[in-house]
Amino acid sequence: MLLAASLVALAVAAQAGAPCPPTPAGYSFYRLQDTPGAFVLRTLPAGSSPAALAAACDSATLCNSFSSDGQLCIVPSSPIFSFLDATDPQVSDCDGVYIAARSLSGLEMPPGVDVDVLRAKGEAGLRNMRAIDAAAKRVASKLRAEAISPEALAHMSPQALARVFREANVPLSQTSDQLGSYTNSNVMAALTYPVWDSRTVNGTTLSYISPIKDQGRCGTCVHFTAVATAEAAVAVAQGQAVNTNDYSEEWMHFCNPVYKLTCGSGYWANRAAAVIAQYNIPYEKNYPYTTAYDAGNCNLYNPPEERSPGTFKYFFITDLTKAKEHIRTWGALMSSFAVYNDFFSWGPAKAPYVWDGVSALAGYHEVTVIGYNDSGSYWLVKNSWGTGWGDKGFFKMSYTANVGFMSPADDYIVALNWTANNTPSPSASPSPSPSPSPSPSPSPVCGDGTCDAGETCGSCSTDCGPCDVCGDGVCTGAETCETCKTDCGIVDASGVLSCCGDHTCSASLAENCGSCPTDCGVCPSCNKNGVCEPLLGESCATASGGCSDCGSCTSTYCGDGKCSYSKNGYKESCGTCAKDCGGCNDTSFCGDGKCTPPENAGSCSRDCSGGGKKLPLRGVPEPSAATATGNNGNGNGKKNRRALLGSAHMRG
């Protein structure tokens, strides 16, 4: 025993005296630390050098971090740092995590804007859309009962239209901060076009959407999205049966005359759209996309330079009914969202994406919205991560994903249209004689049998029908469980009123596959993301089942009261097992470098037992690798030392 202890001590001393390998350019090295909550993309063979691991991370889409033991990762948006267990004899002084000074995907958020702001600013618009959807479904049910097509509504008299809405118990128009606001034209549009996919325009063989592309390692999602949206607008305007437009993301990100970015930096969607509107956009053949150069390649290929033969205009949309109309008219638009770790593993066999309420925030992303489905309550989206991700590069985002997607406020939804240069101007004709100014439209008259613009159920129930009343015991009109649980809620087996069973998986109501499999689907027995998630039904592995993310029930597992760590085996941290290690946002947790009661050597050896190694400052990179910017690799440009020290809030 004494000899073995001496050998370990000598090994530790040798490790302590040996210099660590050079930190690869563009990375910061956090010695003897890791980042709980990081999403592991893949693991390379043990023994790979930092230079080899950096090269592998640089070539892997979305990778912005790697560990000394070979894990290629995506670090959380505001990383929490935790110490490795220095008492493990396999841990050397040069073990730790390397974080790149580059964007996760390429979207920069304006100062003061985060996912909570996105959610809050978009909530009213999303509530209105859900109200329209609920009202349309109830009117559609009435129409089916009478064998009337939705298209017939546009040709009905005001009296006949009012009868259909009245008998469906739906107001023709309402204004409500609680239940949502809409007009009958909003509901009729939803009835006429409940589903749209710009890849198969209105059920035809036309496709307004260009092929999927791959942004690779660079933070260029904004420009891939802007280009895809521009390609769709041109296809629509030119009446192309198949979208063959191919414009240059390289020029947009690296070469345009307004700003020139690097591979590792992101940008704002509104400014990208402004560049397209002001300068047009050249073709891919002139500036082919490459990730080989950090500053891009702005050499002209295949001269002469050619640009789209027309003019773009851009604008912002703050109404989701108008957003859907724009998709139908121009093929696509741009929107952003907060990316959580559970999004990376979305696939076509899964339900439309809804944040699971547990996974950590990884960063922000810009994508192209190409359709919607009111029946299934989701958006159809084109991504820029290649055809190997998602559903051949596309995905479905639930209306209730709770990630700030399609927030109808400010400049969060960006639209483009396009006019050809050769569009003939109207023939010149003599100027007409001035005509008298039109008479102002008559003010709506309550009681004339027509629910006119400006009238609602609140101002004129005679014409627009009675308003919904939350609390009257009947789920009618535009009421949903989320806006009126009293009327639309479902009593569960224990007698509690909930929304589980309303056919909508709502992340804002904390529904997930663990809490509501009826709406969200059955959880996989183990999602193998390295995090033990009891709320999703995961538990320690046995011979007949369980989940390896939670350890082995017969040896070490999450819930055994010990925050375990084995470099070459099962590891726990505040990000993977809060039961044993404490939560990363708690006042103290195992791995924070302080032995805080009730921690002891048995429950938290990394904080309470030493290990013969001098620990660095938590959240501070090695001096030789420190960066001047403080960039944490997530694309948000955070320079807040508190975030690096782990005191910033890590959502999820």
Question: Using one digit for the tens of pLDDT, what is the confidence trace for 80-120?
Answer: 999 999 999 999 999 999 999 876 778 888 888 888 998 98
- What is the residue whose two structure tokens read 């960066």? 627
Order of strands across the sheet with 65-67?
27-31, 96-100, 65-67, 71-74, 39-43
The reported pLDDT for the residue numbered 111 is 84
Q: Which residues contact 41 (CB under 8 A, 6 or more apart)?
A: 60, 62, 63, 72, 73, 74, 344
The predicted-structure confidence for 355-399, as pLDDT tens digits, reads as follows: 988 888 898 999 999 999 998 999 999 999 999 999 999 999 999
Mean of pLDDT values over 193-220 = 93
**pLDDT of 626 over the 50 cut:** no
The reported pLDDT for the residue numbered 606 is 92
- Where residue 530 falls (left for φ over 0; alpha for ψ -120 to 50; beta otherwise) is left
CA–CA gap between residue 572 and residue 564 (Å, rounded)? 5
- What is the residue whose two structure tokens read 């027995």? 525
The predicted-structure confidence for 163-199, as pLDDT tens digits, reads as follows: 999 999 999 999 999 999 999 899 999 999 999 999 9
Band of residue 624 on the pLDDT scale cut at 50, 70, 90: low
The reported pLDDT for the residue numbered 17 is 55
Band of residue 439 on the pLDDT scale cut at 50, 70, 90: low
Band of residue 582 on the pLDDT scale cut at 50, 70, 90: very high
Structure token digits, residue 317: 């949309």
Q: What homologous superfamily is domain 193-418 in, according to CATH?
A: Cysteine proteinases (3.90.70.10)
CA–CA gap between residue 346 and residue 393 (Å, rounded)? 11
Average pLDDT, the chain: 87
The predicted-structure confidence for 487-534, as pLDDT tens digits, reads as follows: 999 988 888 899 998 888 888 888 888 888 888 888 888 888 888 988
The reported pLDDT for the residue numbered 153 is 82
Quote the percentage of the chain above a pLDDT of 70. Answer: 89
Band of residue 644 on the pLDDT scale cut at 50, 70, 90: very low
Band of residue 641 on the pLDDT scale cut at 50, 70, 90: very low
Three-state SS at 100: strand
Contact assessment for residue 402 and residue 355, using Cβ atoms and an 8 Å cutoff: yes
The reported pLDDT for the residue numbered 152 is 84
Q: Which residues contact 335 (CB under 8 A, 6 or more apart)?
A: 366, 367, 369, 405, 406, 407, 412, 413, 414
The reported pLDDT for the residue numbered 250 is 97
**pLDDT of 6 over the 50 cut:** no
Position with higher pLDDT, 284 vs 9: 284
Per DSSP (E only), the strands in 536-639 are 540-541, 547-552
Quote the percentage of the chain above a pLDDT of 90. Answer: 62
- What is the residue whose two structure tokens read 């890849």? 199
CA–CA gap between residue 543 and residue 565 (Å, rounded)? 22
CA–CA gap between residue 574 and residue 652 (Å, rounded)? 12
CA–CA gap between residue 143 and residue 153 (Å, rounded)? 9
CA–CA gap between residue 375 and residue 318 (Å, rounded)? 22
The reported pLDDT for the residue numbered 131 is 93
How far from each other are the two terminal CA atoms of the chain, in whole angstroms?
45
202, 204, 206, 209 alpha-carbon torsion, rounded to 10°: 50
Of the candidates 108, 299, 297, 100, the one whose C-alpha atom is nearest the C-alpha of residue 217 is 100
CA atoms within 13 A on the CB side of 537: 15
The reported pLDDT for the residue numbered 85 is 93
**pLDDT of 638 over the 90 cut:** no
The reported pLDDT for the residue numbered 650 is 23
The CA angle 24-25-29, to the nearest 5 degrees, is 55
